[in-house]
């Protein structure tokens, strides 16, 4: 047997060794679908059916693309590095950069994340003909909603000009019946949104920028508008493979159909029961559309599960039945009941609690009780949470029970002490009356002001409803703070002197230069580079990542000053943007 096929079950072998024509693989959770895709890539190359650069593998997340690339690297001989494995957006980005001049872009164009796109929109807010969606009381209220709407329109393959035509036709229809005031108001709103969509695309093009939605959609429009470019890619890619096909949106499916062309050597792996990105435009109906578009496609279902016990699989299957009759299993009349290698095992147990804290306390008690019986150790337990922030309650409860724990989630960049130092400094320079940021700055490892004295000053400021900055400036004139140590007063004088100096610098310098001056003038960078250690190296790299955020702002802002950057940073944080640490 071919080494590539070793360890595969019969259904997996059928999927890996399928030669030409469309192939639909329905793969439940834990059935080895990623392995099937990577083994198929290796098999196609080993059989001489395609060269490495003639295979395109697309998936939905960067993590999945990286895992697929690593597995293929292990399977293939050294030097096979030019296989196209990427997410849809990364693939679209590559097409745009390879054909930038034809697309009317600079090959080094900047891609805006959604918070950056919101900043860009805000910078050009009064160039849009908005009324309803730019209320006088809060002109920026609908910015993020509009950008999300534009992105969703691109997911549905609706370009700005098409949407504008629809809105114009709708407005004409409603004017024919002026008595229907509600419909007329709706038509006016649609015209406003459509005009804003067109203007937004024009402004991005004028500035040579691409937002996240355009990163893919512009490449789709490029292939449609230029048959020669499309033909080149169709000729290059003899085989196309798509993972997590149930998470693709309508526009992505159109791209796949374009690239497949007449050869129709397209393999998709899907499971509609795992469609988790519908809120981002994912259409699990693409699985049904695939069977209609490629009626001659071979269908293979993977039901051998390598991950869970049969009891867990049976419970999951029983639960998912509540989605019938909309599930693909029912519509296609196939069997998706997974079969586990391990038949033993307990059924999942559901416990309901009124509050999050009650849940966390109960979980901690269960762990402690089982360990105390001597049958388990703490390392035998894992707590899975929806997001990093949801772990806090469990961590507190584990600490109360003196249960040792290790948190495997990524700590956000903005939560790192060295980055918080940078943020608090910039916030103080943008607004010296920001007492909380000033408190953290003064107590940081840069200034190391005595916490007891600082707390005394802070309490005085809060009782008198004063800014901490004002209290520190008048420290020597306040009798109630006479007990503050002389050493503390000297350090505070240094802090105030530095703030005054950097306030002057902020008038003329960009945010990046201002921050760099602070880190060098205070000796913090020198401290990090002296007597190097792994901890200090990580801090330097995290500060470098934060400087990337500062640089990205400089590229989209009309004027890069610290007060504008702080507004931008607040927008990033409010939107949930928090890059991982090194």
Domain ranges of the chain: 3-93+218-310, 112-207, 356-400, 414-574
Of the candidates 534, 512, 532, 498, the residue with the CA atom closest to the CA atom of residue 422: 512
User: CB neighbours of 301 closer than 8 A, spacing ≥ 6?
Assistant: 11, 25, 26, 27, 334, 335, 336
Cα separation, 395 vs 418, in Å, equals 23
Do 241 and 283 touch, CB atoms closer than 8 A?
Answer: no
Q: What is the DSSP letter of 158?
A: -
Sheet holding 298-302, edge to edge: 84-87, 55-59, 239-242, 266-270, 23-27, 298-302
Angle at Cα 236 formed by Cα 233 and Cα 240, nearest 5°? 85
Angle between helices 511-521 and 417-430 (to 10 degrees): 120
User: CB neighbours of 1 closer than 8 A, spacing ≥ 6?
Assistant: none
Of the candidates 316, 246, 238, 325, the residue with the CA atom closest to the CA atom of residue 280: 246
Do 512 and 552 touch, CB atoms closer than 8 A?
Answer: no
User: CB neighbours of 345 closer than 8 A, spacing ≥ 6?
Assistant: 309, 310, 311, 312
Q: What is the pLDDT of residue 281?
A: 47
Of the candidates 262, 259, 257, the residue with the CA atom closest to the CA atom of residue 290: 257
Q: What is the pLDDT of residue 342?
A: 83
Cα separation, 572 vs 577, in Å, equals 5
What per-residue string of b and e applies to 283-320 under the rule 16 or more CB within 10 Å gives b?
bbebbeebeebbeebeebbbbbbeebbbbbbbbbeeeb
Cα separation, 26 vs 271, in Å, equals 6
The pTM of the full predicted model, rounded to 2 decimals, is 0.78
Establish how many alpha carbons lie within 13 A of residue 246's alpha carbon, considering only the half-sphere containing its beta carbon: 17
Cα separation, 90 vs 96, in Å, equals 10
**CATH assignment, 414-574:** 1.10.486.10
Q: What is the pLDDT of residue 580?
A: 57
Cα separation, 130 vs 197, in Å, equals 11
Q: What is the DSSP letter of 384?
A: -
Is 21 exposed, middle or buried, given 0-12, 13-18 or 19+ CB atoms closer than 10 A?
middle
Establish how many alpha carbons lie within 13 A of residue 86's alpha carbon, considering only the half-sphere containing its beta carbon: 15
**DSSP secondary structure letters along 85-144:** EEEHHHHHHHHHHHTHHHHT--TTPEEEPHHHHHHHHHHTGGGS--STTS-TT-TTTTHH
Structure tokens at 193: 């949104």
**SS3 label, residue 78:** coil
CA 99, 102, 103, 109 torsion-angle sign: positive
- Find tokens 């693939």 and name the residue: 91
CA 333, 12, 85, 409 torsion-angle sign: positive
| Omega prior to 325 cis, within 30 of 0 | yes
CA 448, 450, 451, 457 torsion-angle sign: negative
Cα separation, 560 vs 396, in Å, equals 41
Cα separation, 329 vs 324, in Å, equals 9
Q: Could you name the CATH architecture of 3-93+218-310?
A: 3-Layer(aba) Sandwich (3.40)
In sequence order, the β-bridge partners of residue 555 are none
Cα separation, 511 vs 430, in Å, equals 10
Structure tokens at 97: 């950069």
Cα separation, 187 vs 211, in Å, equals 27
* Mean pLDDT, the chain cut into blocks of 10 residues (582 residues total): 82 94 94 92 92 92 86 75 88 94 89 83 89 82 90 93 95 89 92 96 92 93 96 96 91 95 93 70 73 92 93 92 87 90 86 93 94 92 85 88 80 83 95 93 92 91 92 91 91 94 93 95 93 89 91 80 87 63 54
Is 525 exposed, middle or buried, given 0-12, 13-18 or 19+ CB atoms closer than 10 A?
middle
């Amino acid at each position: 047997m071919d080494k590539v096929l070793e360890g595969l079950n019969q259904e997996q072998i059928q999927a890996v060794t399928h030669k030409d024509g469309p192939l639909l693989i329905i793969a439940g959770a834990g059935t080895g679908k990623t392995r099937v895709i990577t083994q198929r890539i290796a098999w196609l190359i080993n059989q001489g059916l395609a060269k490495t650069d003639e295979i395109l593998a697309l998936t939905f997340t960067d993590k999945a693309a990286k895992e697929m690339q690593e597995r293929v690297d292990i399977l293939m001989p050294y030097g096979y590095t030019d296989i196209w494995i990427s997410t849809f957006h990364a693939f679209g980005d590559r097409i745009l950069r390879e054909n930038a001049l034809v697309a009317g872009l600079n090959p080094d164009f900047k891609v805006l994340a959604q918070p950056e796109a919101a900043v860009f929109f805000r910078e050009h807010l009064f160039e849009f003909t908005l009324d309803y969606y730019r209320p006088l009381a809060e002109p920026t209220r609908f910015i993020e909603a509009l950008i999300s709407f534009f992105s969703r329109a691109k997911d549905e393959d609706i370009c700005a000009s098409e949407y504008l035509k629809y809105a114009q036709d709708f407005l004409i229809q409603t004017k024919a019946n002026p008595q229907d005031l509600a419909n007329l108001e709706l038509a006016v709103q649609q015209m406003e949104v459509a005009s804003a969509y067109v203007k937004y695309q024009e402004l991005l093009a004028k500035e040579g920028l691409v937002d996240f939605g355009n990163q893919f959609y512009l490449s789709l429009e490029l292939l449609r508008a230029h048959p020669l470019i499309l033909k080149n890619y169709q000729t290059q890619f003899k085989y196309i493979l798509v993972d997590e096909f149930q998470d693709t949106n309508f526009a992505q499916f159109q791209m796949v159909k374009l690239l497949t062309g007449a050869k129709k050597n397209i393999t998709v792996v899907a499971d509609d029961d795992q469609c988790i990105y519908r809120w981002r435009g994912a259409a699990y109906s693409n699985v049904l559309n695939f069977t209609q578009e490629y009626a001659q496609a071979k269908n293979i279902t993977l039901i051998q599960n390598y991950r869970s016990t049969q009891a867990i699989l049976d419970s999951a299957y029983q639960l998912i039945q509540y989605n019938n009759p909309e599930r693909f299993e029912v519509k296609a009349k196939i069997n998706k009941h997974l079969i586990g290698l391990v038949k033993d095992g307990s059924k999942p147990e559901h416990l309901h609690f009124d509050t999050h804290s009650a849940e966390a306390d109960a979980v901690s008690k269960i762990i402690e009780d089982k360990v105390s019986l001597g049958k388990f150790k703490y390392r035998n337990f894992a707590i899975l949470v929806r997001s990093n922030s949801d772990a806090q309650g469990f961590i507190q409860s584990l600490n109360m029970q003196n249960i040792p724990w290790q948190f495997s989630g990524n700590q956000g960049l903005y939560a790192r002490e060295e980055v918080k130092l940078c943020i608090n400094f910039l916030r103080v320079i943008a607004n010296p009356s920001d007492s909380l940021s000033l408190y953290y700055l003064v107590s940081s490892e840069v200034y190391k002001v005595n916490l007891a004295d600082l707390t005394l000053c802070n309490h005085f400021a809060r009782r008198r409803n004063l800014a901490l900055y004002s209290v520190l400036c008048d420290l020597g004139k306040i009798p109630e703070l006479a007990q503050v140590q002389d050493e503390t007063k000297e350090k505070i004088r240094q802090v105030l002197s530095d703030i005054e100096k950097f306030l002057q610098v902020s008038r003329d310098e960009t945010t990046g230069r201002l921050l760099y001056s602070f880190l060098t003038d205070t000796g913090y960078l020198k401290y990090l580079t002296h007597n190097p250690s792994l901890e200090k190296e990580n801090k330097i790299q995290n500060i470098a990542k934060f400087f990337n955020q500062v640089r990205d702002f400089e590229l989209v802002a009309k004027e890069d000053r610290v007060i504008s950057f702080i507004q931008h940073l607040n927008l990033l944080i409010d939107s949930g943007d928090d890059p991982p640490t090194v």
